[in-house]
Amino acid sequence: MTTLPKRRVRIACCQFSAALGAYERNVSRAETLMQNLHPEDVDMLLLPEMAFTGYSFTEASQVHALAEDKNSGRTVQWAKQQAVRLNAYVIVGYPRVEVSADGDSTYYNSMCVINTAGVLIETYDKTHLYETDEKWATEGVGFQYIDTVEFGRVGLAICMDINPYRFTAPFEDYELANYMRTKQVNLIVLIANWLDSEPESDDSRGVPNYWVHRLKPVLYTDTVFIVCNRSGREETNAIYTGCSACISLKEPMLLGQLNKRQENILLVELSVPDRMPSSNAKGTARTLVATAAT
């Protein structure tokens, strides 16, 4: 494989505890954490899956009431404003509604990707739905990536996408990782509402180790994996594991991480290829400083 020249980029993850259904409160909390971010600080800002709505809804109607259009929705508009303010890419998750010409509504668990000019360049819909999503959302058409001048080829994923499909596919299928390997992605971005399976423990090592295990087909390559997860507990007693992290898969090596409980900004500086891989087929089917103060 040809070795590409490298450039340095700064990526920030905003990890916080969102309240279920409290949109304005959640926006305010994120903005408070972001208030010291300036254009010279960051090239890409990530926020979690369904960042401002919360996640663990028990009824489809609760989520549907908060779903947004991919162009005019308030989360996308907020992301555009932040992208211009920071002169950075902004990626954030939200529940999306698509209305057909016949007036039928289809709902997705989505992310928007906004470039430095404040332009929506991609909407990705979660492909592997978790049981909570299955109450209200439709599967996306498949994994995706984007080609950028700033970061090279960037793979997009949301939470359950990294797991076996419905937890029924063979573990060794590594669907997401094999897609990223085939497409020669050099940066994998995952936003999440990852649940804490061991809430009594403060150990923040287990979940990143699992993520690395699920990325086996791209281990020992120049790929970098970055995940922005949420923390805290929702009213439904769902507890989230935090642990937002940036991991170089070449070694593999942890480049920066927040712990389980933090609400904070993780900021990492890393090297990415200075141009995109030679393959330019659009796919659908899927160092080093951390400001991780407590």
- 229-256 pLDDT, tens digit per residue, is 999 999 889 999 999 999 999 999 999 9
Q: How far apart are the C-alpha atoms of 223 and 122, rounded to whole Å?
A: 21
State what percent of residues in the chain have pLDDT above 90.
87
Give the residue, 277 or 74, on which the prediction is more confident.
Answer: 74
CATH number for 6-273 (one of 3.30.1490.190, 3.60.110.10, 2.60.120.200, 3.40.50.360): it is 3.60.110.10
What pLDDT is recorded for position 6? 72
Structure token digits, residue 148:
């950028």
- Which has the closest alpha carbon to 242: 278, 210, 277, 195? 195
The mean per-residue pLDDT over the stretch 11-32 comes to: 98
What pLDDT is recorded for position 194? 98
Give the residue, 17 or 6, on which the prediction is more confident.
Answer: 17
- Which has the closest alpha carbon to 54: 75, 78, 33, 26? 26
On the question of pLDDT at 282 being above 80, the answer is no
Residues sharing a CB contact under 8 Å with residue 125, sequence separation 6 or more, in sequence order: 96, 108, 109, 110, 138, 139, 140, 141
> Phi and psi of 221, rounded to 5°?
-115, 175
On the question of pLDDT at 97 being above 60, the answer is yes
On the question of pLDDT at 162 being above 90, the answer is yes
On the question of pLDDT at 93 being above 90, the answer is yes
On the question of pLDDT at 293 being above 90, the answer is no
What pLDDT is recorded for position 272? 79
Rounded mean pLDDT of the chain? 91
What pLDDT is recorded for position 44? 98
Where does 192-249 show beta strands of DSSP type E? 224-228, 231-233, 239-241, 245-248
- How do residues 163-178 score in pLDDT, each as one tens digit? 999 999 999 999 999 9
On the question of pLDDT at 70 being above 90, the answer is yes
- How do residues 185-207 score in pLDDT, each as one tens digit? 999 999 999 999 999 999 899 99
